[in-house]
Amino acid sequence: MSNPDLRLLHQQGIVITGASSGIGLVTARMAARAGAGVLLVARNEEALRQITAELRADGARVHYVAADVSRREDHERIARTAMGRFGGFDSWVNNASVGTGGELDKVTIEDHRRVLDVNY
C-alpha cells in the first residue's frame, strides 16, 4: 500500500548538504536530472556557483546556500531559502561530514566537538 503523502522525486524540493563534492555532488546531480528542485549546501561557494550553473544549463531547478552545517543559524538560513525557492523541502540529505585522526587523548576537545557538530 502506498502512502499518498509521499511526493514523486520530480515533485520534491530537496536540500543536500555536502553538495560540492563526492556523494553529495553525485546525489545532487541525480536528483536534479530526475526533476527535483535541489538546494545545494556546502561551505565552498565558488564550487556551488559552478555546479548550480552547470545544472541550470541542463534545465534543472537548483539553487545554493554557502553554509556551515555546524552552525544553527546557517541551518535556519538553509531552511528559509528552501521555503522561499521551493515552498519548503520534502527531503533533507545530511551528507556533509568531517573527521579527525590521532590518539584519543591527543586530539583536542575542539576537534572532537567539530566532528560531532558537523556530522550529527
Distance CA 80, CA 67 (A): 13
- What CATH code is carried by the domain that includes residue 115? 3.40.50.720
What average pLDDT does the segment 17-25 reach?
A: 96
Look at residue 78 and tell me if it is in a domain.
yes
Quote the number of domains for the chain: 1
Whether the per-residue pLDDT at 17 is higher than 60: the answer is yes
What residue type is 74 in one-letter code? D
CB 37, CB 14: distance < 8 Å = yes
Look at residue 2 and tell me if it is in a domain.
no
Look at residue 3 and tell me if it is in a domain.
no
Whether the per-residue pLDDT at 50 is higher than 70: the answer is yes
- Residue 61 confidence (pLDDT): 97
Look at residue 73 and tell me if it is in a domain.
yes
Could you tell me which residues come within 8 angstroms of residue 59 by beta carbon, excluding any fewer than 6 positions away?
A: none
In tens, the pLDDT along 53-62 reads 999 999 999 9
Q: Select from 6, 12, 20 the least CA-distant residue to 82.
A: 12
- Residue 4 confidence (pLDDT): 61
Q: Burial of 35 by CB count in 10 Å (0-12 exposed, 13-18 middle, 19+ buried)?
A: middle
Look at residue 113 and tell me if it is in a domain.
yes
What average pLDDT does the segment 31-44 reach?
A: 97
> Residue 30 belongs to what domain range?
9-119
Look at residue 49 and tell me if it is in a domain.
yes
Distance CA 27, CA 10 (A): 14
- Three-state DSSP at 78 gives helix
Look at residue 47 and tell me if it is in a domain.
yes
Look at residue 1 and tell me if it is in a domain.
no
